[in-house]
């Protein structure tokens, strides 16, 4: 596609990590001159194995302009998850070399009003470019959580990636919070040790 001699750029955007108790929210954007170019067979990241997500990540990074932003737990606690997600969307869009002609987003994500945009319910299942963004966001966040696991192995972030599993709650009750836990998501948690681990 072209527009006034320039290629028409479409960006798909999705997020990962809206609901976990720890770690950042990740928002990613994937830019293309087509909504479907080289994306045959792609699926929403939640429907892929970790191995398949990594395979797709490599394909996407080699063939598309992929950008991502992490917004951490402290900011999420300060401004709320919805505003944190919006902040990340703005950050992602600013990383592209020029403003996209169309931004396609999943679910409850929105860009600033000066972008030509569409928010599509279950867009990660319907629009290949949004599926691509979901994979970039998920793999970026998972990589970050594995790094946190090396720093705080007692929480088993490598297994649950910060989500509210039985194992995670068990570790919280045993060890208390670390600096990367979202306190606003854990207001009602009764821990045996409400200590803050700084290292």
Domain boundaries, the chain: 2-145
Residue 3: is its pLDDT beyond 70?
Answer: no
Q: Which fold has domain 2-145?
A: Nucleotidyltransferase; domain 5 (3.30.420)
pLDDT at 108: 87
The pLDDT value recorded for residue 198 is 37
Q: How high is the pLDDT of residue 138? A: 97
Could you read off the pLDDT of 33-71 as tens digits, one per residue? 865 567 888 988 989 999 999 999 999 999 999 999 999
Instruction: Render pLDDT for 137-185 as a digit per residue (tens, 0 to 9).
Output: 999 999 999 999 999 999 999 999 999 999 999 999 999 999 999 999 9
The two structure tokens encoding residue 10: 């479409």
Q: Which of 56, 2, 67, 66 is nearest to 34 (CA)?
A: 2
Cα separation of 11 and 4, whole Å? 18
Q: pTM here? A: 0.90
Are 124 and 45 in contact, with CB atoms under 8 Å apart?
A: yes
| 129 vs 4, residue with greater confidence | 129
Per-residue confidence (pLDDT) for residue 199, from 0 to 100: 35
Count CB atoms within 10 A of the CB of residue 138.
25
- Residue 33's pLDDT is 84
| Token reading at 132 | 């691509």
HEC string of the chain equals: CEECCEECCEEEEEEECCCCCECCEEEEEEEECCCCCCCCCCCCHHHCCHHHHHHHHHHHHHHCEEEEEEECHHHHHHHCHHHHHHHHHHHHHHHCCCCCCEEEEECCCCCCCCCCEEEECCHHHHCHHHHHHHHHHHHHHHHHHHHHHHHCHHHCHHHHCCCCCHHHHHHHHHHCECCCECHHHCCCCCCCCCCECCC
Kindly state the tokens that stand for 69. Answer: 């932003």
- The contacts of residue 50 (CB under 8 Å, 6+ apart) are 142
């Amino acid at each position: 596609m072209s527009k006034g001699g320039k290629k028409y750029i479409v960006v798909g955007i999705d997020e990962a990590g809206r609901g976990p108790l720890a770690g950042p929210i990740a928002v990613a954007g994937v830019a293309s001159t087509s909504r479907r170019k080289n994306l045959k067979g792609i699926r929403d990241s939640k429907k892929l194995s970790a191995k398949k997500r990594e395979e797709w990540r490599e394909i996407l990074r080699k063939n598309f302009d992929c950008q991502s932003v992490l917004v951490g737990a402290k900011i999420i606690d300060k401004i709320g998850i919805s505003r944190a997600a919006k902040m990340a969307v703005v950050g992602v869009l600013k990383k592209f070399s020029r403003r996209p002609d169309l931004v396609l987003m999943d679910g409850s994500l929105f860009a600033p009003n000066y972008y030509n945009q569409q928010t599509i319910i279950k867009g990660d299942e319907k629009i290949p470019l949004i599926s691509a963004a979901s994979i970039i966001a998920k793999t970026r966040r998972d990589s970050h959580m594995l790094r946190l696991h090396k720093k705080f192995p007692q929480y088993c972030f490598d297994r649950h990636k910060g989500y509210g599993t039985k194992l995670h709650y068990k570790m919280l009750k045993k060890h208390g919070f670390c600096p990367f836990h979202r306190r606003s998501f854990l207001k009602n948690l009764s821990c045996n040790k409400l200590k803050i681990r700084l290292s």
